[in-house]
Amino acid sequence: MLSRRLTPSQGFTLIELLIVVVIIAIFAAIAIPSYQVYARRAQASQAQQEIQRLATELEKHKSRNFNYVDFSTIANASPKSDVVTLPTGATGAGIQYTITVRDGDDPTKTLFANGVNGKSWVITAQAANAKNWSFVLNSNGMRCKRQDTTIAFDCSGSGVEQTW
């Protein structure tokens, strides 16, 4: 009589593969939202840094000219600009933040518009993603943030936090 040996099968069973797939899916369900929060926080931090840089540039401009009139977000730009987009050079759907610099007394006007007095300024950073923060900073030191794509120049409205 021939003896048959039972050789163990090689490879994985379907159940083992399904268990591995479920474990990977659980890890992904935890990791992906955490990464998205981290990425939004990094974008908000970049917007805050750009606002602070623009505020410094505005004060340099005032120290040379005694007012903020004719300030442009891009030095020596022609035509002058009151807008900065982040990330720098992004267009269309790639824009995460749109930062604008306006006259503090009349936020509907740019600092290089005709008839602007240029005694104060206000900077807004509007987020493209409603889950991210929008920011406001003005020359009087008022700063606020709101988790939305819009924020008022005077920090009014619901959901506005006064610090950042």
Over range 131-154, report the average pLDDT.
92
Q: What is the DSSP string of 26-87?
A: HHHHHHHHHHHHHHHHHHHHHHHHHHHHHHHHHHHHHHHHSS-TT--SSTT-SS---EEEES
Q: Which pLDDT score is estimated for 156? A: 86
Read off the pLDDT of residues 98-112 as tens digits, 9 standing for 90 and up: 999 999 999 999 999
Tell me which of 14-18, 109-113, 134-138, 159-163 is least confident.
159-163
* pLDDT computed for residue 101 by the predictor: 95
Domains of the chain plus CATH, in order, are 14-161 (3.30.700)
Percent of the chain with pLDDT over 70: 94
pLDDT tens for 64-84 read 999 999 998 887 777 888 899
pTM, rounded to two decimals = 0.79
